[in-house]
């Protein structure tokens, strides 16, 4: 039973000094301090329950996002949680349409990250009040209610509400079995933890052998700063994991389009499943050109961790610009917007492999991807969740 009036919204600037050890480093973010704008929502319901929501940031960026959270807070303060969840599409629309703040978005950048943190906290509170983990709240929700949380504005040319309803109806076949399977075996994952760009070869080797011992079968390596380094590191990791295990590469937006094709062709001998973020996240046609050029080499393009919103995902899908879609629980406008992207990916037949390289993201995306498997895609082919 959803209850209570939102009586308090507070936000904290939480940072971890990960840059000191090169953890999380890549070709563009050489000194990341994993951080979060951490939102806590309280109600007057006197049940002791609070909603916790974050958005992932890097160090100083957190200060700016915290300001934006405070600027948006009035949209939810003093509202009844029941009214919010009964019109979740409306509240999403309200936060993303703030007459003054949308000018510094819209639905992108700092204000959208702040929107995600607030909405993530509301979803957390809703799930807690229902006594369920978020994935189960979503799986148990009837399709009409679920769709009432999504803003279809700007995507109805690619996915109508009726089509989304059909996808969810279809997803109900076999969903109980898939839920049992998830509870028994969990969702497949890959690891990036051995191969951040700032790690020495020795660290890489040591972490890779631990990961192999622990049973990991899919590994992601950072590339893009120096070709000779990439060749050496990819050879090292491929030799250690052998020819059968999966290797992915991540360039974090380092290259121009022709440079991406040329560089990745030189790494093709290491048989990567995908090249992630080869170029600017805004370059839809660039991603399409890279996808086309790399297809004969059997290498797909993955992107999404810095994809602003459902509109860019729509265009990436329409332009055949990606073969692996990486939703982000904190960059998109929370569960509401992620649901629309999961449904579009299903319509276009593209597997979803969430981005989770950051603090708290692994914990959040598992709810979205488990829901996706049980209620939307019903497939584990080419899917995997991130493990940091």
Per CB under 6 A, 281 contacts ligand LFC: no
Residues 6+ apart with CB under 8 A from 90: none
Question: Would you say 39 or 385 has its CB closer to ligand LFC?
Answer: 385
Concerning whether 205 is annotated as a catalytic residue, the answer is no
* Binding-site partner at residue 105 among ligand LFC, Mg ion, none, CB < 5 to 8 Å by type: none
Report how far Cα 83 is from the mean position of its chain's Cα atoms.
27
- For residue 358, the 8-state DSSP code is S
Question: Would you say 29 or 136 has its CB closer to ligand LFC?
Answer: 29
CB of 277 to Mg ion, least distance (A): 6
One DSSP character per residue, 177-236 reads HHHHHHHHH---EEE-TT--TTS-HHHHHHHHHHHHHTT--EEEEE--S-HHHHHHHHHH
Considering only 33, 151, 230, 250, the residue that binds Mg ion (CB under 5 A) is 250
# residues contacting Mg ion (CB under 5 A): 2
Check if the beta carbon of residue 357 is closer than 8 Å to that of residue 305.
yes
One DSSP character per residue, 288-332 reads HHHHHHHGGGT-EEEE-TT--SHHHHHHHHHTT--SEE---TTTS
- For residue 372, the 8-state DSSP code is I
- Interactions with Mg ion, residue window 259-278 (CB under 5 A): 276
Helix, strand, coil % (nearest 5) of the chain? 50, 15, 35
Concerning whether 355 is annotated as a catalytic residue, the answer is yes
**H/E stretch holding 62:** helix 61-72
* Binding-site partner at residue 328 among ligand LFC, Mg ion, none, CB < 5 to 8 Å by type: none
CB of 34 to ligand LFC, least distance (A): 7
* Contact flags string 2-41 toward ligand LFC, x per CB under 6 A: ----------------------x-x--x--x---------
Question: Would you say 34 or 126 has its CB closer to ligand LFC?
Answer: 34
Sites of contact with Mg ion (CB under 5 A):
250, 276
The set of catalytic residues is 222, 355
Sites of contact with ligand LFC (CB under 6 A):
24, 26, 29, 32, 192, 250, 252, 305, 355, 357-358
């Amino acid at each position: 039973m959803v209850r209570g009036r939102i009586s308090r919204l507070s936000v904290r600037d939480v940072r971890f000094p990960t840059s000191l050890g090169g953890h999380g480093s890549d070709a563009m973010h050489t000194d990341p301090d994993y951080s979060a704008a951490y939102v806590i929502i309280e109600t007057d319901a006197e049940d002791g329950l609070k909603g916790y929501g974050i958005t992932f940031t890097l160090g100083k960026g957190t200060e700016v996002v915290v300001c934006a959270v405070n600027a948006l807070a009035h949209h939810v303060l003093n509202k009844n949680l029941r009214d919010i969840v009964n019109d979740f599409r409306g509240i999403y629309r309200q936060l993303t349409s703030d007459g003054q703040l949308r000018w510094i978005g819209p639905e992108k950048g700092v204000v959208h990250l702040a929107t995600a943190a607030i909405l993530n906290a509301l979803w957390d509170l809703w799930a807690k009040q229902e006594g369920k983990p978020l994935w189960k709240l979503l799986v148990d929700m009837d399709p009409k209610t679920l769709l009432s949380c999504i803003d279809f504005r700007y995507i109805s040319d690619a996915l109508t509400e009726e089509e989304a309803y059909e996808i969810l109806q279809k997803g109900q076949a076999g969903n109980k079995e898939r839920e049992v399977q998830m509870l028994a075996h969990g969702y497949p994952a890959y690891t990036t933890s051995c191969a951040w760009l700032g790690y020495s070869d020795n660290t890489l080797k040591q972490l890779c052998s631990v990961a192999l011992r622990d049973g990991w079968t899919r590994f992601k390596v950072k590339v893009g700063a120096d070709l000779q380094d990439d060749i050496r590191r990819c050879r090292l990791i491929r030799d250690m994991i052998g020819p059968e295990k999966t290797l992915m590469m991540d360039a974090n937006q380092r290259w121009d389009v022709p440079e991406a094709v040329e560089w990745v062709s030189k790494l093709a001998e290491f048989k990567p499943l995908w090249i992630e973020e080869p170029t600017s996240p805004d370059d839809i046609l660039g991603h399409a050109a890279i996808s086309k050029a790399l297809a004969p080499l059997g290498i797909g393009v993955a992107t999404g961790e810095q994809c602003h919103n459902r509109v860019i995902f729509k265009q990436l899908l329409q332009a055949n610009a990606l073969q692996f879609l990486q939703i982000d629980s904190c960059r998109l406008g929370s569960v509401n917007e992620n649901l629309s992207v999961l449904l579009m990916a299903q319509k276009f037949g593209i597997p979803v492999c969430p981005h989770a390289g950051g603090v708290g993201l692994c914990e959040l995306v598992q709810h979205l991807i488990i829901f996706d498997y049980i209620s939307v895609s019903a497939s584990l082919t080419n899917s995997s969740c991130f493990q940091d």
